[in-house]
Copies of this chain bind each other. A is one copy, B any other.
Amino acid sequence: MPGKRILVVKGSPREKGNSSLLADQLVEGARSSGAEVEVIILQNLNIQACTACDACLEAPENGCILEDDMQVLYPKLLRADAIAIATPIYWFTMSAQTKLFIDRWYALESPQGNALKGKTFGIILTYGDTDAVTSGAINAIRSFEDMFRFLKAEVAGFVYGSANQAGEVKSQKDLLARAYKLGQKMAC
């Protein structure tokens, strides 16, 4: 049996940021369980904001008409069995990079439901503040929960923790282990 196809999307501008490092652990966990993993770094891509032009609603067969790097990401999203999103918490919710990417899912809507329906999601969040409440990670968690309920998607889990300086997360064994296990879970 071929392994699950997992798309890992990094929403941090920092290549070695804490959420990115946790995502790397998730990747290792997923690969250790036989998954085929691809990693995307949003900061390196050109992704425009959704313009709400509704061209995708009027002609779903054409999809989104904005010509940017989402045209490469859309087929990857459709092919994936599971999607992991790793984002730092900025200003009490997910990063703008991550939100740009998500807003473009609008073009995946169809009368049969969104094309992401039934896929499995895993979320990684890091923040400089002390906890998930004071940092506002809870607001991102609630947004993601609402999304997955709307999409009728499966939720493999949320891994989140406090880590401020880039790379600081490396000393947090428990957090690293939880990200690794989330990867294993998404691969099953």
Contacts and interface: CB of A to CB of B under 8 A. Distances in A.
Contacts of A141: 133
Given A13-B51, A13-B52, A43-B51, A105 B91 contact: yes
Interface in A120-156: 131-133, 136-139, 141-143, 145-147, 150
A158 B133 CA distance: 11
B103 A95 contact: yes
A90 to B, nearest CB: 5
Given A13-B51, A90-B103, A91-B147, 9 more contacts: A13-B52, A14-B51, A90-B106, A91-B99, A96-B96, A96-B103, A133-B138, A133-B141, A139-B143
